[in-house]
Amino acid sequence: MLVIGAGYIGLELSTVYAALGTRVTIVEMMPGIMPGADRDLVRVFEKRVGPWFEEILTETTVKAVEERTGALHVTLSGKELENPEREFDTVLVTVGRKPSIEGIGLEKTGVRTTDKGYVAVNVGRQTDDTNLYAVGDITGPPQLAHKASHEARVAVEHALGRNAAFDPYAIPAVEYTDPEIAWCGLTETQAEEEGRDVAVASFPWQASGRAATMGRSEGLTKVVIDPETERVLGVGIAGTNAGELIPEATLAIEMSATAEDVARTIHPHPTLSETFMEAAEAFYGLSTHIYRPKRR
Ligand SMILES: Cc1cc2nc3c(=O)[nH]c(=O)nc-3n(C[C@H](O)[C@H](O)[C@H](O)COP(=O)(O)OP(=O)(O)OC[C@H]3O[C@@H](n4cnc5c(N)ncnc54)[C@H](O)[C@@H]3O)c2cc1C
């Protein structure tokens, strides 16, 4: 099977099919898989699951797919690609979602769309045509189910005249692979792109007793911190059950918690949730289970 796209959908489905015994090749046009996620988190996934795949071809695009007797003939384009002509039984396209807003008469309303083709809305999810609201994928990224349902609540409250706004500090994203990758708030990659000065403290799961007893010590929990205020700006987790751990981090960011707040919150032992506390402790050089001198 050829899977086009190494975003979360492509990687989730590639993992499922590979686990069932399908020989999977993944093609991704960006320099790395899981674009947007921090590379140290991605490495946790790559190390464990990477060998399951025939090949992961980055900086590669699909030029053509042609059906020939009994096979799909695929032409790839990418640098250092030895063999751009391949044959597959199946091709799974996991890229190219776009807003479906044609043919519903929007042009007869006051609704405005953005230059990227999304429906423009205000903080109450109200369009420029004030009787019309829009929520979910058509209002733009992140295109996630929990973002859509949260927006829907805000829209209903706003329409009822209540003082409601969609203005989150952090929206969690989870890749449901094994290990899971989850993050919320500011990523280290984003901070670098924006030239923003941040401190990053991390806790490797090799030092987590719970991860050891689960046989899943490959994980990593990291916290992105404002060096001046010590506020938690973002959290990334790679490891089993990362999706179950990320809401605590989301709450911390929404409540403007500092690294000290997290470090001083008593977490049950032995749990994977301690890795968040210990990453925050590591910022101060005070993690019980790893020696990390204070970095600032
Ligand atoms: C393979 C895949 C896996 C995903 N996994 C996750 C995940 O694990 N977690 C997560 O948070 N998100 C996930 N997503 C994204 C998530 O599905 C979307 O963000 C979410 O469904 C957006 O909700 P929505 O209401 O905006 O749009 P949709 O869920 O797409 O709902 C829009 C509905 O409107 C209908 N519709 C469209 N036009 C018309 C019309 N003219 N008249 C009547 N009905 C119409 C459509 O048929 C559709 O049912 C995944 C997406 C895909 C494709």
| Statement: residue 118 has pLDDT above 70 | yes
On the CB side of 173, how many CA atoms lie within 13 Å of its CA?
Answer: 20
Q: How confident is the model at residue 255 (pLDDT cuts 50, 70, 90)?
A: very high
What is the number of H-type helices and E-type strands within the chain? 8, 12
Pocket test for ligand 1, best of 15, 16, 137, 156 (most atoms within 8 A of CB): 137
Q: How far is CA 265 from the centre of its chain?
A: 26
The pLDDT assigned to 85 comes to 95
Confidence label for 238 from pLDDT (cuts 50, 70 and 90)? very high
- What is the per-residue pLDDT across 134-164, written as a single tens digit (0 to 9) for each? 999 999 999 999 999 999 999 999 999 999 9
Residue 69's pLDDT is 87
d(CA 155, CA 295) in angstroms, rounded, equals: 44
Judge whether residue 295 has pLDDT over 70: no
Q: What residues does ligand 1 touch, defined as CB less than 6 Å away?
A: 9, 100, 104, 136-137, 143-146, 148, 176
Distance 73 CA to ligand 1 centre (A): 31
Q: pLDDT above 90 covers what percent of the chain?
A: 94
Given this model, what pLDDT does residue 70 score?
Answer: 87
Is the pLDDT score of 272 beyond 70? yes
Residue 97: pLDDT band with limits 50, 70, 90: confident
Q: Please give the DSSP secondary-structure letter assigned to residue 207.
A: G
Is the pLDDT reported for residue 296 higher than 70? no
| 149 vs 98, more confident | 149
Farthest CA pair distance, the chain: 65
> If pLDDT is split at 50, 70 and 90, which confidence band does 73 have?
very high
Closest-CA residue, ligand 1 atom 43, reads 104
* b/e 174-189 (16+ beta carbons within 10 angstroms → b): bbebbbbbbbbbbbbb
The answer to whether 146 is a known catalytic residue is: no
Give strand pairing partners of 174: 182
Q: Note the pLDDT of residue 96.
A: 86
Which atom, in ligand 1's list, is nearest to the CA of 173?
Answer: 11
Distance (Å, rounded) from C-alpha 148 to C-alpha 141? 10
Contact 208, 219 (CB under 8 A): yes
Q: What is the pLDDT of the chain when averaged over all its residues?
A: 96
For the chain, percent of residues with pLDDT exceeding 70: 99
Residue partners of 125: CB distance under 8 A and separation at least 6 = 133, 134, 135, 139, 151, 152, 154, 155, 158, 166
The residues pairing with 2 across neighbouring beta strands, listed in sequence order, are: 25, 91
**What is the residue whose two structure tokens read 């994203």?**
173
Task: Flag whether pLDDT at 88 surpasses 60.
Answer: yes
Which regions of the chain does DSSP assign to beta strands (E)? Answer: 2-4, 25-27, 55-57, 60-68, 71-78, 85-88, 91-93, 173-175, 180-185, 199-204, 220-225, 232-239
Residue 180 structure tokens: 């899971």
Q: Mean pLDDT throughout 249-264?
A: 98
CA 278 to centroid of ligand 1, rounded, Å = 37
Kindly report the protein residue whose alpha carbon is nearest to atom 47 of ligand 1.
100
